[in-house]
Chains A and B, each alone.
Chain A
Amino acid sequence: MDAFYASVEQRERPELRGKAIAVGSPDKRGVVMTASYEARKFGVRSAMPSKMAIERCPGIIFVRPRFEEYSKVSKQIRKIFKSYTDLVEPLSLDEAYLDVTENKTGNSSATLIAKEIKERIKKELHLTASAGVSINKFLAKVASDMQKPDGLTVITPAQAEAFIEKLPVEKIPGIGKVTTEKMHKLGIRTGADIKKLEMDELVKRFGKSGSYYFHLVRCEHNSPVVPDRIRKSIAAENTFNDDIEDVNEMLSELENVVDILAERIKKIKSPGKTITLKIKYNDFQVTSRSKTLKIFVDSKKEIFEVVKDLLYRPEKPVKPVRLLGVSVSNLNHENPAMINEQLDLEF
């Protein structure tokens, strides 16, 4: 989506249309999250300190972000995507990869589909999007960045190799400032320069990413479009060699499961609100019980408290149990730092 947060604000508030606006906080430590195209003309960019944005564009209007609104629009966009293919891999609220090799429309032209999606977004959501069409995720992403706003860029299979050869290394997704500098020092400036290097040379200099670069420039980057990259839930479970009948034994097994789960949650830094206990009985009947809390939790203790409650409510398992699992969903992706728990009086 083009200047997504800013465009949504301008759509919702007509008085902001045609003006230089920035979504973010204007105070000293604040940063610009998204700038409207009007503001970009003045050199305002995403992630720029607000102070600098005001210096470059003195009349700029700051708008507080409303993530709920954006995520609502994001869902609408995703719904449009899903009407073409189920292979939608969201990168963020406003970006996604679509694999339309086989799609729901019967239309074999990815370009036409991209055009149609853009038109639908414009017509239904009154927002503009830029699309890139190509043979793999990497090139599609690069293409989508080439013409903005409201652009549609196609890199055909025939053009692909030549295109990459000319591509400056800093434009390659995954190559940041540090790597760019490192490459420049080595005289590597374009895709063609990378191509000259052997695999082991690249790996020696850039580690694991080296092999990614090697394949990339040879158009061998074929990672599939993975639907729903944004995790919806995270789980851990354990199947037992012998069925368990004793509740205390179940509790101690669950404690282990929760232990592993808590580790995983901490790793991805996404605490969740909904905790689900899955029970598979020895007759393979599976039930699950969940509880949604008011706060995000990630600690073993907190999760286990809920799991304990779920094991007894509505009633403790009536049959021997073969598997116990716990999952946490309703994850907090936006701001993992914000987990504060109001403690309860223990009556």
Chain B
Amino acid sequence: MQNWQGIYGQRSVINTLTKLIENSSVPHALLFSGLSGVGKDFTAIRFAQALNSNNLPGEEAAVVNNLINNFNEPYIKYILPLPRGKNENEASGPFEKLSAEENENYWEELNKKISNPYYKIQIPKASNIKISSIRDINKFISFNFSDIKYRIILISDAHLMNDESQNALLKNLEEPPAGIIFILCTPYPNLLRETIRSRCWLIPFQPLDKDEIANILTEYFHVENELAKDVAPFSAGSVTTALKLLDHDFELLLDKTIFILRYSFGRKYHSALSTFSDFLSDNSTESLKLIIQMMIIWLTDVMKFRLNNREYYFTKNVETLEKFDNRFPGIDLQKTIFKLDKLASSIQNNINQNLIILNIMFELASLTTPQMNKNMT
């Protein structure tokens, strides 16, 4: 049995990977797909360690494991989105034209990732995986490293490769030299070209359960035990989402969700609007999606209340739940949830947020008073 220490959940993934190692039948390209924040990169690191330190004497294994843990080449080549440097041209290496500051910023982020493998690296202006990073793989592969058993090329957020990069990668995926293993991680495997996907062994990662999320939050992110447990159910199984909820001041977020719904249903548009825009002051579509998601969860809770199913998400707001249902008894919850869900999935970048907000408010309001709709038609 390999050492998969520190990884929460993902039993079936670990079983599969263990079997691959035990049968010495490791494919040369793997695709780790699954939500952001479920431990894909972390599993890749542990996998790289298991492959390389297998059968090594204890001390040597520890050295190799440590090197891999710290993303040291040539054991592991970590490819991720990077900003474009000044005067960067076709011939520039991925790091060559970065400013000293950008390079240091990268190290800082990498260090955070090293000390916390569940951390998601955030680099400003790093919106895609540069073609130079992919070309760099070419060079990396071309060197003779037959003294090292496995060299892992870990591509994080692989969907952020543009067409040109995917094309360039394809050639490498075709027949890499022995000992090279590609691991592509992404929540959106469909954004990869079919030809890339078909060359990779797909390893699907499952969303984590709420206890696993809570444990990761307390152990890796030092979130208070209570708070971690509160937020976990709302995270949809993703550490990333849980952290986003915490970033928005989770307790307040719960209240705001209920306020917005209540104001909207009650046609207190001004209050609804100001609560809404207050929450969305960062103007990000992420936040917008987040709060819509929260509204849906709340409405699901209301539905559960009606059905006498007591497994609420909003465990701390049960009284409010009751009041809410009393105040708006006629709402077609299913229809509302459906509409919200549709809105959430239609949100694209660069959309006018105010429009969406108003849309949501009016959609909600229209559901409370069917008579009024009749009058209007």
B283 within 8 A of A: no
How many interface contacts (CB-CB < 8 Å) are there between A and B? 7
Say yes or no for B195: interface residue by CB 8 A criterion.
yes
Closest to B196 in A: A314
Binding site secondary structure of chain B: helix
Chain B residue contacts of A15, Cβ below 8 A: none
Instruction: Assess whether A315 is interfacial by the CB under 8 Å rule.
Output: yes
Distance A52 CA – B170 CA, assembled complex (angstroms): 58
Q: Residue B174 at the A interface, CB < 8 A?
A: yes
| CB closest chain-A residue, reference B167 | A314
Within 8 A of B (CB), among A286-324: 313-315
Q: How far is the CB of A67 from chain B (nearest CB, A)?
A: 21
Bound Cα distance A315, B171 (Å): 10
Chain A residues near B171: list those with CB within 8 A.
Answer: 313-314
Q: How far apart sit A314 and B174, CA to CA, in the bound complex (Å)?
A: 8
Query: How close is A312's CB to chain B, nearest CB, in angstroms?
Result: 11
Shortest Cβ gap from B76 to chain A (Å): 26
Chain A contacts of B174 at CB under 8 A? Answer: 314
Mask, B165-203, CB within 8 Å of A = 1, is 001001100100000000000000000000100000000
What mask results when residues 152 to 170 of chain B are scored 1 for a CB within 8 Å of chain A, else 0?
Answer: 0000000000000001001
B residues in contact with A313, CB < 8 Å = 171
The complex places the Cα of A315 from the Cα of B170 at a distance, in Å, of: 10
Q: How far is the CA of A314 from the CA of B171 in the complex (A)?
A: 7
Chain B: minimal CB distance from A221 (Å) = 43
| Distance in Å: Cβ of B367 to nearest Cβ of chain A | 37
In the complex, what residues of A have CB within 8 A of residue B167's CB?
314
Q: CB within 8 Å of A: which of B187-228?
A: 195
A89 to chain B, nearest CB (A): 30
Q: In chain A, residues 312-341, which have Cβ atoms closer than 8 Å to a Cβ of chain B?
A: 313-315
The CA-CA distance from A315 to B174 in the complex, in Å, is 10
* B134-163 CB contacts (< 8 Å) to partner A: none
Which residues 242-297 of B sit at the A interface, judged by CB distance below 8 A?
A: none
Q: Quote the shortest CB–CB distance from A93 to chain B (angstroms).
A: 26
CA distance A313 to B171 in the complex (A): 9
Q: How many angstroms between the C-alpha atoms of A315 and B173 in the bound complex?
A: 12
**Shortest distance from the beta carbon of B91 to any chain A beta carbon, whole Å:** 14
Closest A residue by C-beta to B174: A314
Assembled-state Cα–Cα distance A315/B196 (Å): 11
CB distance from B196 to the nearest CB of A (A): 9
Interface residues of B in 23-58 (CB under 8 A from A): none
7 pairs, A vs B, C-beta closer than 8 Å: A313-B171, A314-B167, A314-B170, A314-B171, A314-B174, A314-B195, A315-B195
CB-CB nearest 7 A-B residue pairs: A314-B195, A314-B170, A315-B195, A314-B174, A314-B167, A314-B171, A313-B171
B interface, CB within 8 angstroms of A = 167, 170-171, 174, 195
